[in-house]
Chain A
Amino acid sequence: MNKEQRHLNVTAIENGTVIDHIPANNVFKVLHILNLENNKNQVLFGDNLDSRKYGKKGLIKVSNTFFEGNEINKIALVAPTATFIEIKNFNVVTKKQVEVPDQIKSIVKCFNPNCISNVENVPSRFTVVDKENMKLLCHYCEKITARNNIVFF
């Protein structure tokens, strides 16, 4: 792929954020977690794009929108490799890496069907007890939801 084609794939934005290096097929989850489904600005996204680093990747561009650290870290569960690139006047201003947070609220369902958070209208809450293997200790039932049984709301 030459430079011009790459340019077409990812139209430049004047002001806003580019979220790069999203694992392929997780773009829709990221859009959902960051509530970009309801964003009134221009939102462009692509999935299964060629990536030198990861083979395939997803990418999102949002105009006139910038994210705080705790919002950025919300996507750690689905896109731990993602980078948030802030653009002002077509120039890259900062690049921020996703970090796994200590606490996760209201994003993930507890895997335990008998947990009160799955039975009543209780916002889920977890402590990340193992950041590498993504083990989440439920604040309510005190059971561990592991990476292989993570379900998003």
Chain B
Amino acid sequence: MKDKSLVSITDFNKDQYLRILEIAADFEKNPNQKLLNNHVVASLFFEPSTRTRLSFETAANRLGARVIGFSDSGSTSVKKGESLKDTIIMVSGYADIIVMRHPREGAARWASEVSSVPVINAGDGANQHPTQCLLDMYSIMQTQGTLDNLNIAFVGDLKYGRTVHSLVQAMCNFNANFHLVSPEELKLPSSSKMHIKNSNLSYTQYTELGDIIPVADIIYMTRIQKERFSDPLEYEKVKNSYVLTKSMLEGCKPNMKILHPLPRINEISEDVDETPQAFYFKQAENGVYVRQALLAAIAGVK
């Protein structure tokens, strides 16, 4: 993976996913390894995302790299009308790896084509967020001991949730059985269903959250946003039907874990936090190890 950009989750293959997860497990045991002492990592956030930025910058710091960049394009030459291409060419003259978040879809792909150093996509509009997908996979592996043959339930906004689309795509490599729980208006798009079918796997669609509790190994919760509904009444009807509470967890499999890309609003009630099923905060922490693994692999030191 040395010098390879990661823009979409499909840029890597199954072996490469597994290799990243393996390196990440090593960083979890021993996070402070100064392997990138002589490296400069550019962290270019053309739109703010505190959570993702802090995770990447922590990863870079734990590896001993120096971090340059900005957390919001408002204070940069981008605001003066500089093109993305020019910004990237300039920064790739300074840094060894570029991590970028941008509000436009396809921005990271374009950047990877004009940059002379590898680019890691930390989110391009509604399109891709591959490091989130890798940390989701890491969390699944960590809690289940395997990625193979699992029952994975996705709950909430399956239409616009980009983390759902990427994770569905990635888990198609591991013979997953998909359980899709969403309101009628927010079902998984046909392009994602096509991936499942093309991998000769199956999925089941539900509208009731309760139906999947006894079968799921992983429940992947997502936020349902009001602005996604054409009819506000429709939102009012469903907003409380995809909320996971402690009492609902009775009868779940002993190995079942709940994941969420965070931030949550109300879709996981706070009484769930104290249950052994809650894994979303650990999942966020895992993001640092996975990003360390990715930076190290791309820099060619792991």
Contacts and interface: CB of A to CB of B under 8 A. Distances in A.
A97 interface: no
B105 interface: yes
B105 A142 contact: yes
B110 interface: yes
15 contacts: A114-B103, A115-B106, A116-B109, A117-B110, A119-B104, A120-B110, A138-B106, A139-B109, A140-B106, A141-B104, A141-B106, A141-B124, A142-B105, A142-B127, A143-B127
Given A141-B125, A142-B8, A142-B128, A117 B106 contact: yes
A116 B128 contact: no
B83 A121 contact: yes
A120 B105 contact: no
B243 interface: no
Interface string B101-129: 01111110110000000000000111110
A122 B110 contact: yes
A122 B8 CA distance: 19
Interface in A84-121: 112, 114-117, 119-121
Contacts of B104: 114-116, 119, 141
B84 interface: yes
B127 A120 contact: no
Contacts, number: 52
A114 B126 contact: yes
B85 interface: yes
Interface in A118-146: 119-122, 138-144
Contacts of A121: 83, 85
A128 B52 CA distance: 34
B128 A120 contact: no
Contacts of B127: 141-143
A120 B8 contact: no
Closest 8 CB pairs of A and B: A140-B106, A141-B105, A116-B106, A141-B106, A116-B104, A116-B107, A116-B110, A140-B109
Interface of A: 112, 114-117, 119-122, 138-144
Nearest to A140: B106
A122 B105 CA distance: 13
Nearest to B111: A116
A116 B105 contact: yes
Interface magnitude class on chain B: 10 to 19
Contacts of B109: 116, 139-140
B191 interface: yes
Given A122-B110, A143-B105, A116 B84 contact: yes
Contacts of A114: 103-105, 125-126
Nearest to A122: B110
Pick from A116, A117, A139, A144 the residue with the most CB of B within 10 Å. A116
A31 to B, nearest CB: 30
A121 B83 CA distance: 8
Contacts of A117: 106, 110
B115 to A, nearest CB: 14
Interface string B124-144: 111110000000000000000
Interface string B19-62: 00000000000000000000000000000000000000000000
Contacts of A116: 84, 102, 104-107, 109-110, 124
Interface string B80-105: 00011100000000000000001111
B49 to A, nearest CB: 17
A24 to B, nearest CB: 33
A120 B191 contact: no
Contacts of A144: 191
